[in-house]
């Protein structure tokens, strides 16, 4: 099977497993796991922040990061297909009492005009207060897109004194593809999360970064939600290995995604624009092909290729370190044949 459903499907390599089994361990609830502490400090440093918090998922890092910036009964703004709005199962409302209003833009991009029109910092006692804006970079369901107006939005929010939350699950991909250092993105946000379990290939884990005070509070809430953990260095060791070995190679995944997009664009013109594939995600719109996502997913599976749907007409292929150039080409040619 060639599995391009997500970059979360990777298995730890021999080198990563060795790093996990040799990691020094302690009880992290007591703050005594040296490997967890090293991971948290490493990621905080990379993103230009004072402190970090290792979490079991990116969703938890986002739940903790957003709630640190947005009080119950107030709102966060985000793009309509943002992970925090679509894929965290209402956690920000169900757990934190936070409401959401959204803008909608091609590729999940920042749209400054729409955001300006949505921001309601204090309209009196009849309107929900906007407490933060959340941006996803790269944007997952937007097709792995890099935000082009990231700094412009950060400048405007700075001027308003409104905090930016960065869902940087795939910020590594944005950084490698653009050449912009992680810190240049991270330092613009009051709270930012990155995933270790996506393209970096670790089995588990994300890190939330922010000020020392924000992370102190997030650590309390992590424990309150039942997600404190003990000798978690066995997992943090995988994260450190991933950061040291698997970041630069993301460029290979980006090249593979571009090639997949070119093959699909040839087979189904207009379904995807290869020059808009910034990183490791290809979202192809099947609307004009007359095929349904479900039928293409099933037919591809029968031919040994796993892909996923992210919308009624949208097929998603994600490249990663366990899918070679040849496997990606085979997958694309299989889908192309099915679309033809």
Ligand X SMILES: *Cc1c(COP(=O)(O)O)cnc(C)c1O
Which tokens in the block code for residue 308?
A: 């996923």
Stretch that binds ligand X, among 12-20, 53-61, 289-297, 321-329 (CB under 6 A): 53-61
Considering only residues 237 through 266, tell me which ones interact with ligand X, judged by CB under 6 A. none
- Give the x/- contact pattern for ligand X in 171-200, rule: CB under 6 A: ------------------------x--x--
What is the C-alpha separation between 330 and 300, in angstroms, rounded? 11
Candidate residues 40, 75, 136, 253; the one interacting with ligand X per rule CB under 6 A: 136
Smaller CB separation from ligand X, 170 or 291: 170
* Among the listed residues 58, 142, 143, 239, the single contact to ligand X using CB under 6 A: 58
DSSP string covering 41-90: HHHHHHTT-SEEEEES-HHHHHHHHHHHHS-TT-EEEEETT-HHHHTSTT
Integer CA distances (angstroms), 82 to 34, 56, 171, 318, in order = 34, 20, 14, 17
Burial 85-117, CB ≥16 within 10 A → b, else e: bbebeebbeeebebebebbebebbbbbeeebee
Closest distance to ligand X from the beta carbon of 24 (Å): 25
- The answer to whether 257 and 284 are in contact (CB under 8 A) is no
Tokens of 277: 């594939």
Residues in contact with ligand X, total (CB under 6 A)? Answer: 12
The nearer residue to ligand X, 142 or 163, going by C-beta atoms, is: 142
How far apart, in whole angstroms, are the C-alpha atoms of residue 291 and residue 226? 44
* Contact flag: residue 59 with ligand X (CB under 6 A): yes
What SS3 state is found at 281?
strand
201 CB-near residues (< 8 Å, 6+ apart): 10, 12, 13, 16, 242, 246, 320, 321, 322
Closest-CB residue for ligand X?
58
Q: How far is the CB of 95 from ligand X (least distance, A)?
A: 14
CB 3 → ligand X: shortest distance, Å? 16
Least distance (Å) between residue 196 CB and ligand X? 9
Q: Which of 10, 134, 140, 175 binds ligand X (CB under 6 A)?
A: 140
Q: How far is the CB of 136 from ligand X (least distance, A)?
A: 5
Binding mask 202-241 for ligand X (x = CB under 6 A): ----x-----------------------------------
> Which stretch, 55-63, 266-274, 293-301, 323-331, contacts ligand X (CB under 6 A)?
55-63
Tokens (6 digits) for 269: 């013109």
Q: Which of 3, 75, 79, 167 binds ligand X (CB under 6 A)?
A: 167
Q: How far apart are CA 162 and CA 157, in angstroms?
A: 5
State in angstroms the smallest separation of the CB of 252 from ligand X.
20
What phi-psi label fits residue 80: left (phi over 0), alpha (psi between -120 and 50 degrees) or beta?
alpha
| Shortest distance in whole angstroms from residue 195 CB to ligand X | 6
Q: Is residue 167 within 8 Å of residue 193, measured between CB atoms?
A: yes
Shortest gap between Cβ of 278 and ligand X (angstroms)?
14
Q: Which of 47, 98, 169, 310 binds ligand X (CB under 6 A)?
A: 169
* Site for ligand X, rule CB under 6 A: 57-59, 62, 83, 136, 140, 167, 169, 195, 198, 206
């Amino acid at each position: 099977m060639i599995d391009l459903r997500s970059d979360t499907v990777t298995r730890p390599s021999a080198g990563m497993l060795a790093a996990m089994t040799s990691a020094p361990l302690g009880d992290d609830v007591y703050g005594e796991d040296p490997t967890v502490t090293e991971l948290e400090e490493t990621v905080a440093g990379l993103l230009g922040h004072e402190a970090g918090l290792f979490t079991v998922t990116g969703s938890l890092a986002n739940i903790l990061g957003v709630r640190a910036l947005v009080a119950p009964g107030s709102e966060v703004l985000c793009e309509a297909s943002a992970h925090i709005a679509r894929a965290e199962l209402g956690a920000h409302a169900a757990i934190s009492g936070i409401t959401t209003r959204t803008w909608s833009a091609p590729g999940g991009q920042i749209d400054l005009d729409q955001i300006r029109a949505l921001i309601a910092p204090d309209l009196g006692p009849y309107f929900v207060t906007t407490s933060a804006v959340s941006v996803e970079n790269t944007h997952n369901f937007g097709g792995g897109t890099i935000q082009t107006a990231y700094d412009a939005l950060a400048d405007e929010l700075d001027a308003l004194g409104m905090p930016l939350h960065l869902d940087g699950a795939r910020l590594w991909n944005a950084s490698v593809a653009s050449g912009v250092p992680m810190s240049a993105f991270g330092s613009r946000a009051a709270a930012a999360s990155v995933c270790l379990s996506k393209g970096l290939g670790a089995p588990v884990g994300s890190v939330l970064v922010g000020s020392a005070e924000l992370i102190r509070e997030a650590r309390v809430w992590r424990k309150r939600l039942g997600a404190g953990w003990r000798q978690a260095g066995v997992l943090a060791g995988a994260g450190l290995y991933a950061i040291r070995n698997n970041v630069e190679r993301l460029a290979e995944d980006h090249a593979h995604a571009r090639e997949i997009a070119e093959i699909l664009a040839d087979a189904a013109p207009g379904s995807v624009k290869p020059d808009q594939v910034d990183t490791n995600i290809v979202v192809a719109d099947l609307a004009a092909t007359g095929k349904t996502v479900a039928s293409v997913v099933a037919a591809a599976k029968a031919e040994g290729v796993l892909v996923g749907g992210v919308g009624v007409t949208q097929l998603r292929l994600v490249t990663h370190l366990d899918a070679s150039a040849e496997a990606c080409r085979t997958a694309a040619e299989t889908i192309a044949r099915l679309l033809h």
